[in-house]
Amino acid sequence: MSRLRLLSVAALLAVAANSHATSFIVTTDAVVKAFKATSDATSNITSSFKDDKIVLAARDDAASFVASEGAIRGVKLESALDHIRHQAPQLNATDAQLAQAILTI
């Protein structure tokens, strides 16, 4: 019986290790895809609005917004977000993504 238990435990550990590796790969893939989507949105915004005075004026407000995790929303940032969404209605980005993009300009 001891040998059977030992083999059972070894098989169970092998299956458990395999499932952890698989979940790690799936989690990593999800994180990479989310990062790529944010990066793509940021690239689109920075190339289109790098000379836009309304967007450039909102950099300090965007920094406050990002640093406070969305708690501080300045008037210039709100204006820039409205301006960006009006100029690029096809862009599906959150306020946080837009604020981060403004900071990269």
pLDDT tens digits for 57-92?
999 999 999 999 999 999 999 999 999 999 888 888
Alpha-carbon separation of residue 102 from 19, 21, 57, 83 (angstroms): 41, 37, 10, 12
**Higher-scoring residue by pLDDT: 4, 60:** 60
This model's pTM is above 0.85: no
Mean predicted lDDT score pLDDT of the chain: 76
What is the span of the domain harbouring residue 61? 2-104
Domain count across the chain: 1
Q: What is the pLDDT of residue 68?
A: 93
pLDDT recorded at residue 38? 55
Q: Can you give the pLDDT at residue 65? A: 94
Whether the Cβ atoms of residue 103 and residue 46 lie closer than 8 Å to each other = no
